[in-house]
Amino acid sequence: MSITKDKVVQFHYALHDADKTVEETTRGGSPMAYLHGHNNMIKGLEQAMEGKAVGDTFSVTLAAKDAYGEHQPDSEQRIPVKHLQGAKKWRPGMVGTVQTEQGQRQVTVVKVGKFMVTVDNNHPLAGKELTFDIDILDIRDATAEEVAHGHAHGAGGHHH
């Protein structure tokens, strides 16, 4: 079985930047699962997954614009600290989550006040060329419910 639309894929990955600094990895923990063909991952990565099989290991390098976008200047914004989710106490450099009309968004804390916090709306990995080292662990057909929801359920996927 290879990866095509409406397959649920489990994989391990390590993500590093051009300096080989590892930014994120699932190795040593639970793998990630996603539903292929539903824009659940950044586009360049999903395209690289197409047609791969269980046991395949490969690397894909994406320019910033194909990964998390170029770093946009003037993206700082002051928001009420209560709108920032992910920690109780904030320090500059921490990454939090805010709800927007387009869904959840990761932001980086720049300055912390008592009630207001200044955040940078760029994704923490914006402006970086990124390489994903991928191991494909499992591929299965999605259930009708998963296809209807547009995401994977179960291990590594959504729980609700």
Q: By the criterion CB under 5 A, which residues form the site for Zn ion?
A: 149, 158
Residue number with CB closer to Zn ion (35 or 48): 35
Residue number with CB closer to Zn ion (16 or 36): 36
Q: In 18-129, which ranges are E strands? A: 22-25, 32-35, 57-62, 76-80, 95-100, 103-112, 116-120
Q: CB–CB of 88/39 below 8 Å? A: no
Residue number with CB closer to Zn ion (10 or 108): 10
Q: How far is the CB of 152 from Zn ion (least distance, A)?
A: 8
Q: How far is the CB of 34 from Zn ion (least distance, A)?
A: 12
Q: Number of helices (H) and strands (E) in the chain: give both, helices first.
A: 2, 9
- Which H or E element spans position 148? helix 144-149
Q: Which residues contact 25 (CB under 8 A, 6 or more apart)?
A: 12, 13, 14, 15
Output the residue with the shortest Cβ distance to Zn ion. 149
Residue number with CB closer to Zn ion (6 or 133): 6
Q: How far is the CB of 96 from Zn ion (least distance, A)?
A: 25
Q: How far is the CB of 154 from Zn ion (least distance, A)?
A: 10
